[in-house]
Amino acid sequence: MKTILFVGTDILNYKSSGDKNFWLELFDNLDKTKFKISILSINNLKEDTKYKNIKIFNLNPISFKKNSSNKVDKSFHRNYYEKTLSLVKLIPKIKFIIKSEKVDIVHFIDNYGPLMYLFKPFMRSTKLTCNAIVYNPTFKFYDSFLRLSFSNFDKIISYSEAYKNILNKWNFKNVEVIHWGVIPSIYSHKNKNNKSIIWTGNLQQTGEKEFYYSLNFANKLIELDPKISFNFIFKPEHFKEKYKNLSNERILIDKSSGKDFNQLIRQYNFLLCPILNKKSTIGPPLTWIESLNNGIPIITNKNSGCEEIINKNNGFVFDEINYNLILNFIKNNNHNYSKISKNAQMTIKEDYNILKITKQYENLWGNLK
């Protein structure tokens, strides 16, 4: 039996609005006769917790923001410098857990910056693996920092072929593609005669810039067809009250009420999610996978990796924006919406099934020598 320590930000003992829901599903499905799990979660909780029978060691980050409560503060990990500096506390804590839990493999769910290259010298006999979720260059030294952060890992797990290709060009030969995964849904989406569209934010690759772009997109489409309606739903930690003033009769802008995302998304016909950084790769966002899993087609722009999950059979990808073409796609789907909706669900069942994904991870970790 191998013991794996999972390290990440805000790995909680319940499902939340973040991408860690995938990992809770994976923990549930890992073969417990082959793998023992420990978790190190970087958050501001004061005491260790448990997810079912799995111990969660909670570690407070080095943060420039004071938070005296015992509630999870999801804002700190957006600060790249705070994440990197938190490695000062991470290294000794990981060494302690490796010794106390007899850890064989440390898996990093999140990237904590260029100083991650320091881990291997401190943990020579322990195998190190990590996730490479998206390539999203946003500052001058992004590529250099990224290369350094991956330099001492035994295995890198990319979420897309597009990201793997970039890492291969940088001479990383230890990259394997394993997607996100969800439990395939048996829900049948029947709301085909309405034309309601949802945008959700913020995601890892969408922020305020994408919000205003999508809001303009929505207003343009409503001018062409006043029967279309849009709902912009923010995670509570990203919502600003000023956004509400931009609502109108056909566009509602609000924060999430905490409702389960699957229940929320089923009220709509399409998910709108343009990603504007043309240099980035598509992860894809877990939100896309959950939307397709519920039979909700996605409308997005062309980006590297997009074609790995979205095509003309389960959504609409535009290169140069053409509102009339997009409107035709939305209106024409009154006739074949059921077919496209089923195609969306089939994409998830075949390529993003949590059981299949879990087996891929089991094979990867099981074969590490």
What is the DSSP secondary-structure string of 213-248?
HHHHHHHHHHHH-TT-EEEEEE-GGG--GGGGGG--
Structure confidence at residue 258 (pLDDT):
63
76: pLDDT confidence band, cut at 50, 70 and 90?
Answer: very low
Q: What HEC string does 122-167 produce?
A: HCCCCEEEEEECCCCCCCCCHHHHHHHHHCCCCEEEECCHHHHHHH
Structure confidence at residue 302 (pLDDT):
93
Q: Whole-angstrom Cα distance, residue 9 to residue 58?
A: 10
Structure confidence at residue 261 (pLDDT):
81
Structure confidence at residue 68 (pLDDT):
47
Structure confidence at residue 335 (pLDDT):
62
Do 196-351 and 2-181+353-366 fall under one CATH topology? yes
Structure confidence at residue 345 (pLDDT):
95
Write down the domain spans for the chain. 2-181+353-366, 196-351
Structure confidence at residue 235 (pLDDT):
85
75: pLDDT confidence band, cut at 50, 70 and 90?
Answer: very low
pLDDT digits (tens, 9 = 90+) for 103-118: 999 999 999 999 898 8
Overall average pLDDT of the 73-91 stretch: 69
Q: Report whether pLDDT(70) > 70.
A: no
Question: What kind of fold does domain 2-181+353-366 have according to CATH?
Answer: Rossmann fold (3.40.50)
pLDDT digits (tens, 9 = 90+) for 323-339: 998 988 888 765 688 88
Q: Report whether pLDDT(267) > 60.
A: yes
Q: Report whether pLDDT(82) > 90.
A: no
Q: Nearest Cα to 101, choosing from 44, 49, 35, 20?
A: 35
Q: Report whether pLDDT(206) > 50.
A: yes
* Percentage, residues of the chain above pLDDT 70: 92
How far CA 63 is from CA of 142, 216, 318, in Å, comes to 22, 36, 40
DSSP structure class, residue 185: P
- Mean pLDDT over all residues of the chain? 89
CA atoms within 13 A on the CB side of 131: 21
Cβ contact 158:132 at 8 Å: yes
Strand (E) or helix (H) holding 291 = helix 286-293
Instruction: Give exposure, 24-50, as e/b (b: 16+ Cβ within 10 Å).
Output: bbbbebbeeeebbbbbbbbbbbeeebe
What's the one-letter identity of residue 1? M
The CATH number of 196-351, from 3.40.50.2000, 3.10.450.50, 3.40.50.10540, 3.40.1170.60, is: 3.40.50.2000
236: pLDDT confidence band, cut at 50, 70 and 90?
Answer: confident
193: pLDDT confidence band, cut at 50, 70 and 90?
Answer: low
pLDDT digits (tens, 9 = 90+) for 296-321: 999 999 999 999 999 999 999 998 88
Other CB atoms within 10 A of residue 235 CB: 16
